[in-house]
């Protein structure tokens, strides 16, 4: 029987593993004291870290292995040759029902391959997708974006499935009662976009959804906060993710340079410090860490490999919210309703989300 609030953590995944994984698990317990953990990895390295943290010691189990997935391992090779790795054991703990969710900061492709092979897709899901969320200009509103790289090319049917997955993510993790859903496109006109996007728009306009389909969104709409879920293929989604991360770093760099090279900037810096701290907090990528592999029979969260303990803790927190909200129960119900909804192209036009 699945242990509802037990999470399997790949202790050896990430740039600073296992230290940041262990410290992140401790931080996550402050907001989610109901959690317990199965740590997978080298016991000689993990156990001393856990023993030094009394709050963690009584809530932890270690499953030992000295094998780990390397950053440059190809997904197919990792699946074949890393069957006893810390990542594989963590996924297996969920597959066996010993844990409800796996979290890893390791190799993304390997994790997707292992999770897909070990956990299997939910009924009516042809391709799982990676989802995460962005801060927006609207206070208190975040935008879910998927797919972030699991599926480079997508059919119209794939995109409609992603819309359902993203809407349930918004409901369970972000607590949006009726999410507004849009397809990412290059414009608002009906004739623009690929045939797959146009066909998906017509299908979504006729399908029963756990939310409301509002049409097309353009790239700048993602962070305006005009919709709750933006759906696209994995190639576009991954490029969007990396471009936004680069933009955030560029803004921080340019602000630092502006203060550093201006005497007036140095004089004004003490007065600007509270506002700058607030801006830094709101843009901190650690607060939005945790890409979710949506559409699998078990829950799986991918943490960025370069995240520190706080970032990893937030990824664990995303998993905890999905467990508490019975994510897959809601997904299965929504997918059952839409599973046979391969609608013919509708006649009505599709407007840009606003």
**Residue 231 in this model has a pLDDT that exceeds 80:** yes
More confident position, 60 or 342: 60
SS (H, E, C) 163-206: HHHHHHHHHHHCCCCCCEEEEECCCCCCCCCCHHHHHHHHHHHH
Q: Give 213's strand partners.
A: 181
- Cβ atoms of residues 170 and 145 within 8 Å: no
What's the confidence (pLDDT) of residue 266? 67
pLDDT digits (tens, 9 = 90+) for 95-125: 999 999 999 999 999 999 999 999 999 988 9
- The mean pLDDT value for 149-165 works out to 93
Encoded tokens for 269? 């810096």
Mean pLDDT for the chain overall: 87
CATH, residue 31: 3.40.718.10
Q: Which among 103, 119, 135 is the end of a domain?
A: 119
Does one domain contain both 26 and 137?
no
- Domains in the chain: how many in total? 2
pLDDT band at residue 69 under the 50/70/90 scheme: very high
Does one domain contain both 115 and 129?
no
- The mean pLDDT value for 168-175 works out to 93
What's the confidence (pLDDT) of residue 137? 83
What's the confidence (pLDDT) of residue 345? 42
pLDDT digits (tens, 9 = 90+) for 27-40: 999 999 999 999 99
pLDDT band at residue 306 under the 50/70/90 scheme: confident
For 57, phi and psi rounded to 5 degrees?
A: -60, -45
What's the confidence (pLDDT) of residue 288? 67
Does one domain contain both 131 and 191?
yes
Does one domain contain both 137 and 184?
yes
Does one domain contain both 339 and 216?
yes
More confident position, 133 or 114: 114
How large a percentage of the chain has pLDDT more than 70? 87
What's the confidence (pLDDT) of residue 283? 62
Does one domain contain both 205 and 241?
yes
Name 285's Cβ contacts closer than 8 Å, sequence gap at least 6.
245, 248, 304, 311
Which of 110, 143, 158, 93 is CA-nearest to residue 14? Answer: 110
pTM above 0.95, yes or no: no
What's the confidence (pLDDT) of residue 255? 74
**Residue 253 in this model has a pLDDT that exceeds 90:** no
Does one domain contain both 142 and 266?
yes
More confident position, 345 or 145: 145
**Residue 347 in this model has a pLDDT that exceeds 80:** no
pLDDT digits (tens, 9 = 90+) for 182-218: 999 987 667 677 899 999 999 999 999 999 999 999 9
313 within some domain: no
- Lookup result for tokens 């016991």: 43
284 within some domain: yes
What's the confidence (pLDDT) of residue 343? 45
**Residue 89 in this model has a pLDDT that exceeds 90:** yes
Range of the domain at 7: 1-119
């Amino acid at each position: 029987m699945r242990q509802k609030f037990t999470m399997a953590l790949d202790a050896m995944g990430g740039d600073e593993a296992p230290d940041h994984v262990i410290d992140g698990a401790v931080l996550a317990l402050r907001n989610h004291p109901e959690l317990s953990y199965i740590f997978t990895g080298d016991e000689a390295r993990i156990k001393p870290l856990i023993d030094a943290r009394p709050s963690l010691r009584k809530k932890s189990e270690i499953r030992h292995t000295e094998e780990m997935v390397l950053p440059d391992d190809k997904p197919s090779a990792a699946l074949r040759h890393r069957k006893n790795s810390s990542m594989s054991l963590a996924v297996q703990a969920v597959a066996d029902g010993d844990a409800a969710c796996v979290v890893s900061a390791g190799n993304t492709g390997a994790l997707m391959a292992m999770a897909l092979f070990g956990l299997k897709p939910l009924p009516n899901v042809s391709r799982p997708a990676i989802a995460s969320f962005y801060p927006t200009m609207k206070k208190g509103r975040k935008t879910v974006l998927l797919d972030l790289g699991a599926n480079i090319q997508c059919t119209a049917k794939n995109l409609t499935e992603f819309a359902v997955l993203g809407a349930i993510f918004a409901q369970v993790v972000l607590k949006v009662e009726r999410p507004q859903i849009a397809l990412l496109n290059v414009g608002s006109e009906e004739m623009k976009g690929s045939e797959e996007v146009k066909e998906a728009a017509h299908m979504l306009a006729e399908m029963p959804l756990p939310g409301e389909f509002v049409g097309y969104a353009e790239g700048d709409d993602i962070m305006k906060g005009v919709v709750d879920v933006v759906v696209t293929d994995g190639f576009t989604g991954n490029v969007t993710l990396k471009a936004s991360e680069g933009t955030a770093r560029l803004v921080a760099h340019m602000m630092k340079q502006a203060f550093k090279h201006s005497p007036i900037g140095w004089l004004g810096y003490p007065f600007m410090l509270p506002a700058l701290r607030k801006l830094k907090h709101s843009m901190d990528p650690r607060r939005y860490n945790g890409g979710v592999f949506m559409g699998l029979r078990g829950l799986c969260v991918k943490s960025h490999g370069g995240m520190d303990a706080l970032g990893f803790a937030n990824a664990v927190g995303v998993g905890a919210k999905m467990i508490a909200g019975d994510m897959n129960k809601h997904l299965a119900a929504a997918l059952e309703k839409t599973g046979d909804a391969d609608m013919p192209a509708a006649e009505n036009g599709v407007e840009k989300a606003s």
